A and B are shown apart, each in its own frame.
Chain A
Amino acid sequence: MKDIVISGRRIARELWICAGCVLAALGVNVYAIIRFHTEWKELITTLHITLAVAAVFYAVLALLRGCVFGVMRAFRRKAA
Protein backbone atom coordinates (compact mmCIF):
# COMPACT_ATOMS: atom_id res chain seq x y z
CA MET A 1 0.00 0.00 0.00
CA LYS A 2 1.22 3.47 -0.79
CA ASP A 3 2.04 5.78 2.15
CA ILE A 4 0.34 9.15 2.07
CA VAL A 5 2.68 11.89 3.23
CA ILE A 6 1.10 15.01 4.65
CA SER A 7 3.59 17.80 4.91
CA GLY A 8 3.96 19.98 8.01
CA ARG A 9 3.03 23.00 5.89
CA ARG A 10 -0.22 21.36 4.83
CA ILE A 11 -1.12 20.48 8.45
CA ALA A 12 -0.40 24.05 9.55
CA ARG A 13 -2.57 25.38 6.73
CA GLU A 14 -5.51 23.14 7.73
CA LEU A 15 -5.15 24.19 11.37
CA TRP A 16 -5.29 27.84 10.32
CA ILE A 17 -8.40 27.17 8.25
CA CYS A 18 -9.98 25.39 11.25
CA ALA A 19 -9.19 28.31 13.53
CA GLY A 20 -10.67 30.68 10.94
CA CYS A 21 -13.88 28.63 10.87
CA VAL A 22 -14.16 28.70 14.68
CA LEU A 23 -13.62 32.46 14.64
CA ALA A 24 -16.26 32.88 11.95
CA ALA A 25 -18.73 30.76 13.93
CA LEU A 26 -18.02 32.83 17.03
CA GLY A 27 -18.73 35.91 14.93
CA VAL A 28 -22.07 34.43 13.89
CA ASN A 29 -22.88 33.80 17.57
CA VAL A 30 -21.98 37.41 18.47
CA TYR A 31 -24.22 38.63 15.62
CA ALA A 32 -27.10 36.37 16.83
CA ILE A 33 -26.75 37.58 20.43
CA ILE A 34 -26.91 41.22 19.31
CA ARG A 35 -29.71 40.60 16.83
CA PHE A 36 -31.96 38.62 19.24
CA HIS A 37 -30.99 40.56 22.41
CA THR A 38 -29.97 37.42 24.27
CA GLU A 39 -27.31 37.08 26.94
CA TRP A 40 -23.53 37.31 26.37
CA LYS A 41 -22.96 34.24 28.49
CA GLU A 42 -24.32 32.30 25.52
CA LEU A 43 -20.85 32.66 23.98
CA ILE A 44 -19.82 30.05 26.55
CA THR A 45 -23.09 28.14 27.13
CA THR A 46 -23.65 27.53 23.42
CA LEU A 47 -20.02 26.70 22.65
CA HIS A 48 -21.05 23.24 21.46
CA ILE A 49 -23.36 24.82 18.87
CA THR A 50 -20.62 27.26 17.84
CA LEU A 51 -18.22 24.34 17.30
CA ALA A 52 -20.86 22.47 15.28
CA VAL A 53 -21.36 25.57 13.10
CA ALA A 54 -17.54 25.80 12.71
CA ALA A 55 -17.47 22.16 11.58
CA VAL A 56 -20.18 22.92 9.00
CA PHE A 57 -18.12 25.91 7.75
CA TYR A 58 -15.01 23.72 7.52
CA ALA A 59 -16.91 21.02 5.62
CA VAL A 60 -18.39 23.57 3.18
CA LEU A 61 -14.93 25.09 2.67
CA ALA A 62 -13.42 21.64 2.08
CA LEU A 63 -16.08 20.95 -0.53
CA LEU A 64 -15.41 24.27 -2.28
CA ARG A 65 -11.65 23.72 -2.17
CA GLY A 66 -12.15 20.22 -3.58
CA CYS A 67 -14.18 21.64 -6.46
CA VAL A 68 -11.63 24.37 -7.21
CA PHE A 69 -8.80 21.83 -7.05
CA GLY A 70 -10.68 19.45 -9.40
CA VAL A 71 -11.42 22.19 -11.94
CA MET A 72 -7.82 23.47 -11.91
CA ARG A 73 -6.47 19.96 -12.39
CA ALA A 74 -8.78 19.41 -15.33
CA PHE A 75 -7.60 22.67 -16.96
CA ARG A 76 -3.95 21.79 -16.36
CA ARG A 77 -4.44 18.38 -17.99
CA LYS A 78 -6.08 19.99 -21.00
CA ALA A 79 -3.22 22.51 -21.32
CA ALA A 80 -0.55 19.74 -21.12
Chain B
Amino acid sequence: MGLAFNGNMDPELSSLSSLGPETRAQRREFLKRLAMVAGSSALLAELPWWSPLRAAPVSDSPSDRVRLGVIGIGSRGSFLLANLLRTPGVEVAALCDDYPPHLEAALAKVKGAKGFSDHRQMLDMPGLDGVLIAVPLFLHARMCLDAFAAGKHVFCEKSLAYSIEECQAIADAHRGSSKVFQIGHQRMFSPVFLRALELIRDGQIGQITQIRAYWHRNGNWRNPVPATGPDPSPFPSLERRLNWRLYLDYSRGLMTELASHHMQVANWFLGARPVSCAGYGSINYWKDGREVYDNVNLVYRYNNGTQVIYDSLISNRFYGMEVQVMGPKGTIEGETGKIFAENPPPAPGIVQLINEIEHGFFDTVPIGGPSWVPELKKDTKGSYLVREHTADDGTAISMAAFANAIRAGKPIPGMMEQACRAGVSVLMGHNAMEQQQEISWPEGFRE
Protein backbone atom coordinates (compact mmCIF):
# COMPACT_ATOMS: atom_id res chain seq x y z
CA MET B 1 0.00 0.00 0.00
CA GLY B 2 1.56 3.33 -1.04
CA LEU B 3 1.82 5.90 1.72
CA ALA B 4 0.26 9.28 1.24
CA PHE B 5 2.71 11.87 2.52
CA ASN B 6 0.84 14.95 3.51
CA GLY B 7 3.86 17.24 3.63
CA ASN B 8 3.49 20.43 1.63
CA MET B 9 4.12 18.69 -1.69
CA ASP B 10 5.16 21.44 -4.02
CA PRO B 11 3.08 20.74 -7.13
CA GLU B 12 5.41 22.82 -9.31
CA LEU B 13 8.47 20.95 -8.16
CA SER B 14 6.91 17.58 -8.63
CA SER B 15 5.57 18.44 -12.09
CA LEU B 16 9.03 19.48 -13.27
CA SER B 17 10.13 15.92 -13.43
CA SER B 18 7.29 15.02 -15.76
CA LEU B 19 8.85 16.86 -18.66
CA GLY B 20 11.37 15.17 -20.85
CA PRO B 21 12.99 18.12 -22.58
CA GLU B 22 14.00 16.65 -25.91
CA THR B 23 14.01 19.45 -28.46
CA ARG B 24 15.27 23.00 -28.01
CA ALA B 25 11.69 24.32 -28.05
CA GLN B 26 10.57 21.81 -25.43
CA ARG B 27 13.63 22.57 -23.39
CA ARG B 28 12.89 26.30 -23.55
CA GLU B 29 9.36 25.62 -22.28
CA PHE B 30 10.82 23.43 -19.55
CA LEU B 31 13.28 26.15 -18.52
CA LYS B 32 10.45 28.67 -18.34
CA ARG B 33 8.72 26.50 -15.75
CA LEU B 34 12.01 25.86 -14.03
CA ALA B 35 12.59 29.60 -13.68
CA MET B 36 9.25 29.90 -11.88
CA VAL B 37 10.07 27.07 -9.49
CA ALA B 38 13.61 28.31 -8.90
CA GLY B 39 12.20 31.75 -8.13
CA SER B 40 9.63 30.52 -5.66
CA SER B 41 11.28 27.60 -3.88
CA ALA B 42 11.61 28.20 -0.16
CA LEU B 43 14.75 26.10 -0.30
CA LEU B 44 16.80 28.52 -2.36
CA ALA B 45 18.95 29.46 0.63
CA GLU B 46 20.20 25.89 0.63
CA LEU B 47 20.42 25.72 -3.15
CA PRO B 48 22.26 28.87 -4.11
CA TRP B 49 23.43 27.16 -7.29
CA TRP B 50 19.85 27.19 -8.57
CA SER B 51 19.89 30.97 -8.70
CA PRO B 52 21.04 31.18 -12.37
CA LEU B 53 17.94 29.19 -13.29
CA ARG B 54 15.72 32.06 -12.17
CA ALA B 55 16.63 33.92 -15.35
CA ALA B 56 14.00 33.90 -18.08
CA PRO B 57 14.80 31.45 -20.89
CA VAL B 58 16.73 33.00 -23.74
CA SER B 59 16.11 33.25 -27.45
CA ASP B 60 18.51 31.89 -30.04
CA SER B 61 19.59 35.41 -31.03
CA PRO B 62 23.38 35.92 -31.28
CA SER B 63 23.36 38.45 -28.42
CA ASP B 64 22.01 35.79 -26.03
CA ARG B 65 24.34 33.09 -27.23
CA VAL B 66 27.18 31.69 -25.15
CA ARG B 67 29.99 29.98 -27.05
CA LEU B 68 31.34 26.88 -25.38
CA GLY B 69 33.99 24.25 -26.00
CA VAL B 70 34.15 20.68 -24.72
CA ILE B 71 37.48 19.11 -23.72
CA GLY B 72 37.41 15.31 -23.64
CA ILE B 73 34.66 13.80 -25.74
CA GLY B 74 34.62 10.23 -24.53
CA SER B 75 31.63 8.70 -22.85
CA ARG B 76 30.67 11.56 -20.50
CA GLY B 77 31.83 14.33 -22.84
CA SER B 78 29.54 12.98 -25.58
CA PHE B 79 26.61 13.00 -23.18
CA LEU B 80 27.33 16.58 -22.13
CA LEU B 81 27.66 17.53 -25.79
CA ALA B 82 24.27 16.02 -26.65
CA ASN B 83 22.74 18.03 -23.80
CA LEU B 84 24.50 21.24 -24.80
CA LEU B 85 23.18 20.92 -28.33
CA ARG B 86 19.63 21.02 -26.95
CA THR B 87 20.23 23.88 -24.52
CA PRO B 88 18.74 27.16 -25.76
CA GLY B 89 21.23 29.98 -26.24
CA VAL B 90 24.27 27.72 -26.42
CA GLU B 91 26.63 27.36 -29.35
CA VAL B 92 29.17 24.56 -29.26
CA ALA B 93 32.02 26.35 -30.99
CA ALA B 94 34.97 24.06 -30.26
CA LEU B 95 35.74 20.45 -29.47
CA CYS B 96 39.00 19.06 -28.13
CA ASP B 97 40.21 15.50 -27.70
CA ASP B 98 43.69 14.11 -28.17
CA TYR B 99 42.32 10.71 -29.22
CA PRO B 100 41.49 11.08 -32.95
CA PRO B 101 38.59 8.57 -33.14
CA HIS B 102 36.74 10.44 -30.36
CA LEU B 103 37.43 13.88 -31.83
CA GLU B 104 36.31 12.83 -35.32
CA ALA B 105 33.10 11.25 -34.02
CA ALA B 106 32.27 14.40 -32.07
CA LEU B 107 33.05 16.79 -34.93
CA ALA B 108 30.70 14.79 -37.15
CA LYS B 109 27.87 15.65 -34.72
CA VAL B 110 28.42 19.40 -34.52
CA LYS B 111 28.29 21.53 -37.65
CA GLY B 112 30.79 24.37 -37.67
CA ALA B 113 32.65 23.47 -34.49
CA LYS B 114 36.44 23.77 -34.61
CA GLY B 115 38.44 20.70 -33.62
CA PHE B 116 41.57 20.68 -31.44
CA SER B 117 43.88 18.00 -30.10
CA ASP B 118 45.55 20.34 -27.59
CA HIS B 119 43.36 22.10 -25.05
CA ARG B 120 45.74 25.09 -24.79
CA GLN B 121 45.18 25.89 -28.45
CA MET B 122 41.46 25.68 -27.90
CA LEU B 123 41.69 28.05 -24.92
CA ASP B 124 43.41 30.61 -27.20
CA MET B 125 40.46 30.57 -29.60
CA PRO B 126 38.92 34.05 -29.70
CA GLY B 127 35.29 34.42 -28.69
CA LEU B 128 35.08 31.26 -26.60
CA ASP B 129 33.21 32.00 -23.35
CA GLY B 130 33.73 28.78 -21.45
CA VAL B 131 34.77 25.15 -21.50
CA LEU B 132 33.42 21.86 -20.24
CA ILE B 133 36.09 19.48 -19.04
CA ALA B 134 35.35 15.74 -19.24
CA VAL B 135 38.81 14.21 -19.29
CA PRO B 136 40.30 11.57 -16.97
CA LEU B 137 40.58 12.67 -13.33
CA PHE B 138 44.34 13.29 -13.25
CA LEU B 139 43.93 16.04 -15.88
CA HIS B 140 41.08 17.95 -14.20
CA ALA B 141 43.29 20.33 -12.21
CA ARG B 142 45.67 21.12 -15.04
CA MET B 143 42.82 21.90 -17.41
CA CYS B 144 40.80 23.92 -14.88
CA LEU B 145 43.85 26.03 -14.01
CA ASP B 146 44.71 26.58 -17.68
CA ALA B 147 41.11 27.56 -18.41
CA PHE B 148 40.93 30.06 -15.52
CA ALA B 149 44.30 31.50 -16.59
CA ALA B 150 42.88 31.96 -20.09
CA GLY B 151 39.89 33.82 -18.64
CA LYS B 152 37.33 31.11 -19.43
CA HIS B 153 34.31 29.96 -17.45
CA VAL B 154 34.70 26.33 -16.39
CA PHE B 155 32.42 23.33 -16.04
CA CYS B 156 34.50 20.44 -14.71
CA GLU B 157 33.25 16.90 -14.45
CA LYS B 158 33.35 15.24 -11.08
CA SER B 159 35.35 14.36 -9.10
CA LEU B 160 37.00 17.75 -8.57
CA ALA B 161 40.63 16.61 -8.73
CA TYR B 162 43.14 13.82 -8.30
CA SER B 163 44.64 15.07 -5.03
CA ILE B 164 43.66 17.30 -2.11
CA GLU B 165 46.40 19.76 -3.09
CA GLU B 166 44.94 19.99 -6.58
CA CYS B 167 41.45 20.60 -5.15
CA GLN B 168 42.92 23.46 -3.16
CA ALA B 169 44.69 24.84 -6.22
CA ILE B 170 41.44 24.88 -8.23
CA ALA B 171 39.51 26.55 -5.38
CA ASP B 172 42.25 29.18 -5.00
CA ALA B 173 42.40 29.87 -8.74
CA HIS B 174 38.63 30.28 -8.83
CA ARG B 175 38.62 32.60 -5.84
CA GLY B 176 41.10 34.81 -7.66
CA SER B 177 38.97 34.96 -10.81
CA SER B 178 35.53 36.36 -11.49
CA LYS B 179 34.65 33.37 -13.65
CA VAL B 180 31.85 30.85 -13.34
CA PHE B 181 32.82 27.42 -12.03
CA GLN B 182 30.51 24.45 -12.08
CA ILE B 183 31.09 20.83 -11.08
CA GLY B 184 29.47 17.84 -12.78
CA HIS B 185 27.50 16.61 -9.78
CA GLN B 186 24.16 16.46 -11.53
CA ARG B 187 22.17 15.47 -8.44
CA MET B 188 22.51 19.08 -7.32
CA PHE B 189 20.08 19.87 -10.14
CA SER B 190 17.83 16.86 -9.90
CA PRO B 191 14.19 17.64 -8.99
CA VAL B 192 14.07 14.29 -7.17
CA PHE B 193 16.95 15.19 -4.83
CA LEU B 194 15.54 18.68 -4.42
CA ARG B 195 12.23 17.21 -3.32
CA ALA B 196 14.07 14.87 -0.97
CA LEU B 197 15.78 17.84 0.66
CA GLU B 198 12.47 19.67 0.87
CA LEU B 199 10.88 16.76 2.76
CA ILE B 200 13.89 16.41 5.04
CA ARG B 201 13.79 20.11 5.97
CA ASP B 202 10.03 19.75 6.47
CA GLY B 203 10.80 17.18 9.19
CA GLN B 204 9.26 14.21 7.38
CA ILE B 205 12.01 11.81 8.44
CA GLY B 206 13.04 13.70 11.59
CA GLN B 207 16.68 14.50 12.30
CA ILE B 208 19.09 12.78 9.90
CA THR B 209 20.75 10.16 12.08
CA GLN B 210 22.58 8.16 9.42
CA ILE B 211 23.21 8.15 5.70
CA ARG B 212 24.06 4.92 4.00
CA ALA B 213 25.11 4.87 0.37
CA TYR B 214 26.31 2.12 -1.89
CA TRP B 215 27.11 1.48 -5.52
CA HIS B 216 27.25 -2.17 -6.53
CA ARG B 217 27.87 -3.50 -10.01
CA ASN B 218 28.82 -6.84 -11.40
CA GLY B 219 31.32 -6.40 -14.20
CA ASN B 220 34.97 -5.75 -14.81
CA TRP B 221 34.47 -1.97 -15.35
CA ARG B 222 36.57 -2.10 -18.50
CA ASN B 223 36.19 -0.55 -21.93
CA PRO B 224 37.08 -2.80 -24.86
CA VAL B 225 40.57 -2.09 -26.19
CA PRO B 226 41.19 -2.53 -29.94
CA ALA B 227 44.21 -4.68 -30.90
CA THR B 228 45.63 -1.79 -32.89
CA GLY B 229 44.79 1.86 -32.73
CA PRO B 230 46.17 5.38 -32.83
CA ASP B 231 49.26 6.37 -30.87
CA PRO B 232 48.15 6.28 -27.22
CA SER B 233 50.67 8.89 -25.99
CA PRO B 234 50.94 10.53 -23.54
CA PHE B 235 49.52 7.29 -22.09
CA PRO B 236 51.95 4.33 -22.29
CA SER B 237 49.35 2.06 -23.89
CA LEU B 238 45.86 2.03 -25.39
CA GLU B 239 44.76 -0.08 -22.43
CA ARG B 240 45.71 2.70 -20.03
CA ARG B 241 44.21 5.43 -22.22
CA LEU B 242 40.85 3.71 -22.54
CA ASN B 243 40.76 2.13 -19.06
CA TRP B 244 42.41 4.96 -17.16
CA ARG B 245 39.98 4.58 -14.25
CA LEU B 246 41.61 1.24 -13.33
CA TYR B 247 45.08 2.73 -12.77
CA LEU B 248 46.26 4.81 -9.84
CA ASP B 249 48.29 7.25 -11.94
CA TYR B 250 45.06 8.57 -13.44
CA SER B 251 42.22 7.85 -11.07
CA ARG B 252 41.29 6.95 -7.50
CA GLY B 253 38.98 4.21 -8.72
CA LEU B 254 35.57 3.61 -7.16
CA MET B 255 35.98 6.55 -4.78
CA THR B 256 36.43 9.32 -7.34
CA GLU B 257 34.42 7.72 -10.14
CA LEU B 258 31.34 6.58 -8.21
CA ALA B 259 31.43 7.49 -4.50
CA SER B 260 31.89 11.21 -5.23
CA HIS B 261 28.24 11.46 -6.32
CA HIS B 262 26.86 10.11 -3.06
CA MET B 263 29.38 11.90 -0.86
CA GLN B 264 28.25 15.14 -2.52
CA VAL B 265 24.63 14.33 -1.64
CA ALA B 266 25.57 13.36 1.93
CA ASN B 267 27.57 16.54 2.56
CA TRP B 268 24.83 18.64 0.96
CA PHE B 269 21.98 17.10 2.97
CA LEU B 270 23.97 17.24 6.21
CA GLY B 271 25.07 20.79 5.42
CA ALA B 272 28.56 19.86 6.57
CA ARG B 273 31.84 18.26 5.60
CA PRO B 274 33.18 15.11 7.24
CA VAL B 275 35.48 15.48 10.23
CA SER B 276 37.30 12.24 9.48
CA CYS B 277 36.95 8.85 7.86
CA ALA B 278 38.27 5.33 8.10
CA GLY B 279 37.85 2.21 6.02
CA TYR B 280 39.25 -0.64 4.03
CA GLY B 281 39.47 -1.58 0.40
CA SER B 282 41.03 -4.39 -1.58
CA ILE B 283 41.13 -6.20 -4.88
CA ASN B 284 39.41 -9.43 -3.97
CA TYR B 285 37.87 -10.51 -7.26
CA TRP B 286 39.05 -8.68 -10.39
CA LYS B 287 42.73 -9.65 -10.16
CA ASP B 288 43.45 -8.69 -13.76
CA GLY B 289 46.30 -6.23 -13.43
CA ARG B 290 44.17 -3.29 -12.29
CA GLU B 291 45.54 -1.10 -9.55
CA VAL B 292 42.37 0.36 -8.03
CA TYR B 293 40.30 -1.50 -5.43
CA ASP B 294 37.34 -3.53 -6.65
CA ASN B 295 35.59 -3.12 -3.28
CA VAL B 296 35.68 -0.24 -0.82
CA ASN B 297 34.05 0.18 2.61
CA LEU B 298 34.18 3.42 4.56
CA VAL B 299 32.70 5.27 7.49
CA TYR B 300 32.68 9.09 7.51
CA ARG B 301 32.22 10.93 10.81
CA TYR B 302 30.51 14.34 11.01
CA ASN B 303 30.77 16.66 13.96
CA ASN B 304 27.16 16.32 15.11
CA GLY B 305 27.71 12.62 15.66
CA THR B 306 26.15 11.51 12.38
CA GLN B 307 27.96 8.90 10.31
CA VAL B 308 27.89 8.28 6.58
CA ILE B 309 28.51 4.68 5.63
CA TYR B 310 29.65 4.05 2.09
CA ASP B 311 30.50 0.90 0.22
CA SER B 312 31.03 -0.05 -3.38
CA LEU B 313 31.89 -3.26 -5.16
CA ILE B 314 31.91 -4.57 -8.70
CA SER B 315 31.41 -8.28 -8.14
CA ASN B 316 27.71 -8.31 -7.12
CA ARG B 317 24.88 -6.09 -8.29
CA PHE B 318 21.99 -7.40 -6.22
CA TYR B 319 21.59 -4.19 -4.19
CA GLY B 320 22.45 -1.86 -7.10
CA MET B 321 23.04 1.75 -6.08
CA GLU B 322 21.29 3.89 -3.55
CA VAL B 323 21.70 6.69 -1.08
CA GLN B 324 19.54 6.16 2.00
CA VAL B 325 18.91 9.10 4.30
CA MET B 326 17.58 7.83 7.62
CA GLY B 327 15.87 9.49 10.54
CA PRO B 328 13.63 8.38 13.41
CA LYS B 329 10.48 9.10 11.39
CA GLY B 330 11.41 7.76 7.99
CA THR B 331 13.88 6.92 5.25
CA ILE B 332 14.47 8.58 1.90
CA GLU B 333 16.01 6.65 -0.97
CA GLY B 334 17.30 9.24 -3.39
CA GLU B 335 18.10 7.06 -6.38
CA THR B 336 14.79 5.19 -6.32
CA GLY B 337 13.17 8.51 -5.49
CA LYS B 338 11.01 7.23 -2.61
CA ILE B 339 10.18 8.04 0.97
CA PHE B 340 9.23 5.41 3.55
CA ALA B 341 7.59 6.25 6.87
CA GLU B 342 8.79 4.34 9.93
CA ASN B 343 5.19 3.94 11.08
CA PRO B 344 3.05 4.10 7.98
CA PRO B 345 -0.67 4.78 8.53
CA PRO B 346 -2.58 1.47 8.53
CA ALA B 347 -4.36 0.36 5.38
CA PRO B 348 -8.18 0.72 5.40
CA GLY B 349 -9.94 -2.00 7.41
CA ILE B 350 -11.47 -3.69 4.37
CA VAL B 351 -8.05 -3.95 2.70
CA GLN B 352 -6.59 -5.46 5.87
CA LEU B 353 -9.46 -7.97 5.96
CA ILE B 354 -8.94 -8.95 2.31
CA ASN B 355 -5.17 -9.31 2.92
CA GLU B 356 -5.87 -11.48 5.93
CA ILE B 357 -8.20 -13.75 3.94
CA GLU B 358 -5.65 -13.90 1.11
CA HIS B 359 -2.87 -14.86 3.53
CA GLY B 360 -5.16 -17.48 5.08
CA PHE B 361 -5.66 -19.08 1.68
CA PHE B 362 -2.26 -18.79 0.08
CA ASP B 363 0.38 -18.62 2.83
CA THR B 364 2.08 -21.71 4.14
CA VAL B 365 1.32 -22.39 7.79
CA PRO B 366 4.34 -21.45 9.94
CA ILE B 367 5.19 -24.06 12.54
CA GLY B 368 6.84 -21.40 14.69
CA GLY B 369 8.51 -18.32 13.15
CA PRO B 370 11.95 -17.23 14.29
CA SER B 371 11.89 -14.56 16.97
CA TRP B 372 13.69 -12.05 14.76
CA VAL B 373 10.94 -11.91 12.14
CA PRO B 374 9.61 -8.55 13.44
CA GLU B 375 13.13 -7.14 13.01
CA LEU B 376 13.38 -8.07 9.34
CA LYS B 377 13.30 -5.36 6.67
CA LYS B 378 9.81 -3.93 6.34
CA ASP B 379 8.06 -4.58 3.08
CA THR B 380 6.43 -1.16 2.76
CA LYS B 381 6.31 0.26 -0.74
CA GLY B 382 6.74 3.90 0.24
CA SER B 383 5.67 6.78 -1.94
CA TYR B 384 7.42 8.48 -4.81
CA LEU B 385 9.09 11.81 -4.22
CA VAL B 386 7.99 13.19 -7.57
CA ARG B 387 5.15 12.15 -9.84
CA GLU B 388 7.16 10.93 -12.78
CA HIS B 389 10.80 10.25 -13.43
CA THR B 390 12.35 11.41 -16.67
CA ALA B 391 15.48 10.48 -18.50
CA ASP B 392 17.15 13.66 -17.21
CA ASP B 393 19.08 13.11 -14.00
CA GLY B 394 19.81 16.82 -13.60
CA THR B 395 22.43 17.06 -16.35
CA ALA B 396 20.15 18.97 -18.74
CA ILE B 397 19.23 21.45 -16.02
CA SER B 398 22.85 21.85 -14.99
CA MET B 399 23.81 22.75 -18.57
CA ALA B 400 21.16 25.48 -18.57
CA ALA B 401 22.43 26.77 -15.21
CA PHE B 402 25.99 26.96 -16.55
CA ALA B 403 24.92 28.85 -19.67
CA ASN B 404 22.71 31.25 -17.67
CA ALA B 405 25.48 31.95 -15.17
CA ILE B 406 27.91 32.78 -17.97
CA ARG B 407 25.32 35.06 -19.58
CA ALA B 408 24.79 36.83 -16.26
CA GLY B 409 28.56 36.97 -15.73
CA LYS B 410 28.19 35.94 -12.10
CA PRO B 411 29.91 32.97 -10.41
CA ILE B 412 27.48 30.33 -9.14
CA PRO B 413 27.26 30.61 -5.36
CA GLY B 414 27.95 27.51 -3.27
CA MET B 415 29.25 25.52 -6.22
CA MET B 416 32.93 25.39 -5.33
CA GLU B 417 32.07 24.49 -1.74
CA GLN B 418 30.06 21.46 -2.94
CA ALA B 419 32.80 20.48 -5.39
CA CYS B 420 35.52 20.71 -2.74
CA ARG B 421 33.56 18.92 -0.04
CA ALA B 422 32.77 15.97 -2.30
CA GLY B 423 36.17 15.94 -3.99
CA VAL B 424 38.12 16.07 -0.74
CA SER B 425 35.82 13.54 1.01
CA VAL B 426 36.51 10.83 -1.55
CA LEU B 427 40.25 11.52 -1.49
CA MET B 428 40.17 11.26 2.31
CA GLY B 429 38.49 7.89 1.81
CA HIS B 430 41.17 6.82 -0.65
CA ASN B 431 43.96 7.90 1.71
CA ALA B 432 42.29 6.18 4.68
CA MET B 433 42.20 2.87 2.80
CA GLU B 434 45.73 3.22 1.44
CA GLN B 435 47.23 4.20 4.79
CA GLN B 436 44.89 2.00 6.84
CA GLN B 437 44.30 4.75 9.35
CA GLU B 438 41.71 7.38 10.20
CA ILE B 439 42.13 10.47 8.03
CA SER B 440 40.91 13.91 9.12
CA TRP B 441 39.56 16.70 6.98
CA PRO B 442 42.67 18.61 5.81
CA GLU B 443 43.35 21.41 8.26
CA GLY B 444 43.34 24.86 6.73
CA PHE B 445 41.60 23.76 3.53
CA ARG B 446 39.83 26.78 2.02
CA GLU B 447 36.75 25.83 0.00
Contact A46–B348 (Cβ < 8 Å): yes
Contact B353–A46 (Cβ < 8 Å): no
Contact with B along A28-60 (1 / 0, CB 8 A): 110111111110001001100110010000000
Does B350 interact with chain A (Cβ within 8 Å)? Answer: yes
Chain B residues, CB < 8 A from A32: 348-350, 352-353
- Chain A interface secondary structure, helix, strand, loop or mixed? helix
Contact B349–A29 (Cβ < 8 Å): yes
Does B346 interact with chain A (Cβ within 8 Å)? Answer: yes
Does B105 interact with chain A (Cβ within 8 Å)? Answer: no
Indicate the size class of the contact surface on chain A.
10 to 19
Chain A residues, CB < 8 A from B348: 32, 38, 42, 45-46, 49
Best-buried of B346, B349, B351, B353 by chain A (most CB within 10 Å):
B349
From B346, B351, B353, B354, A31 is in contact (CB under 8 Å) with: B353
Determine the distance from Cα of A50 to Cα of B350 in the docked complex, in whole angstroms: 8
Best-buried of B348, B351, B352, B354 by chain A (most CB within 10 Å):
B348
Determine the distance from Cα of A13 to Cα of B348 in the docked complex, in whole angstroms: 32
Within the complex, the shortest CB–CB distance from A54 to chain B, in Å, comes to 12
Contact A33–B349 (Cβ < 8 Å): yes
Contact A49–B351 (Cβ < 8 Å): yes
Within the complex, the shortest CB–CB distance from B343 to chain A, in Å, comes to 15
Indicate the size class of the contact surface on chain B.
under 10
Chain B residues, CB < 8 A from A35: 349, 353
Best-buried of A32, A34, A37 by chain B (most CB within 10 Å):
A32
Contact A53–B349 (Cβ < 8 Å): no
Determine the distance from Cα of A32 to Cα of B346 in the docked complex, in whole angstroms: 13
Chain B residues, CB < 8 A from A46: 348, 350-351
Chain B residues, CB < 8 A from A50: 350
Chain B residues, CB < 8 A from A34: 349
Chain B residues, CB < 8 A from A49: 348, 350-351, 354
Best-buried of A28, A31, A38, A53 by chain B (most CB within 10 Å):
A38
Determine the distance from Cα of A17 to Cα of B353 in the docked complex, in whole angstroms: 24
Within the complex, the shortest CB–CB distance from A44 to chain B, in Å, comes to 11
Within the complex, the shortest CB–CB distance from B189 to chain A, in Å, comes to 38
Determine the distance from Cα of A40 to Cα of B353 in the docked complex, in whole angstroms: 15
Within the complex, the shortest CB–CB distance from B352 to chain A, in Å, comes to 5
Contact A28–B353 (Cβ < 8 Å): yes
Determine the distance from Cα of A53 to Cα of B357 in the docked complex, in whole angstroms: 13
Within the complex, the shortest CB–CB distance from B239 to chain A, in Å, comes to 61
* Chain A residue with the shortest CB-CB distance to B345: A38
Within the complex, the shortest CB–CB distance from A59 to chain B, in Å, comes to 16
Contact with B along A1-40 (1 / 0, CB 8 A): 0000000000000000000000000001101111111100
Within the complex, the shortest CB–CB distance from B249 to chain A, in Å, comes to 63
Within the complex, the shortest CB–CB distance from A74 to chain B, in Å, comes to 31
Determine the distance from Cα of A6 to Cα of B113 in the docked complex, in whole angstroms: 78
Chain B residues, CB < 8 A from A37: 349
* Chain B residue with the shortest CB-CB distance to A45: B348
Contact with A along B378-407 (1 / 0, CB 8 A): 000000000000000000000000000000
* Chain B residue with the shortest CB-CB distance to A50: B350
Determine the distance from Cα of A32 to Cα of B354 in the docked complex, in whole angstroms: 9
Chain B residues, CB < 8 A from A36: 346, 349, 352-353
Determine the distance from Cα of A62 to Cα of B243 in the docked complex, in whole angstroms: 68
Determine the distance from Cα of A36 to Cα of B356 in the docked complex, in whole angstroms: 11
Within the complex, the shortest CB–CB distance from A53 to chain B, in Å, comes to 7
Within the complex, the shortest CB–CB distance from B361 to chain A, in Å, comes to 14
* Chain B residue with the shortest CB-CB distance to A40: B349
Determine the distance from Cα of A33 to Cα of B346 in the docked complex, in whole angstroms: 12
Question: Besides the contacts A38-B346, A42-B348, what 19 more A-B pairs have beta carbons closer than 8 Å?
Answer: A28-B350, A28-B353, A29-B349, A29-B350, A32-B348, A32-B349, A32-B350, A32-B352, A34-B349, A35-B349, A35-B353, A36-B346, A42-B350, A45-B348, A46-B351, A49-B348, A49-B350, A49-B354, A53-B354
8 A-B pairs, CB-CB below 8 angstroms? A31-B353, A32-B350, A34-B349, A36-B346, A45-B348, A46-B348, A49-B354, A53-B354
Chain B residues at the A interface, C-beta cutoff of 8 Å: 346, 348-354
* Across the A-B interface, the 5 shortest Cβ-Cβ residue pairs: A32-B349, A38-B349, A32-B353, A36-B349, A33-B349
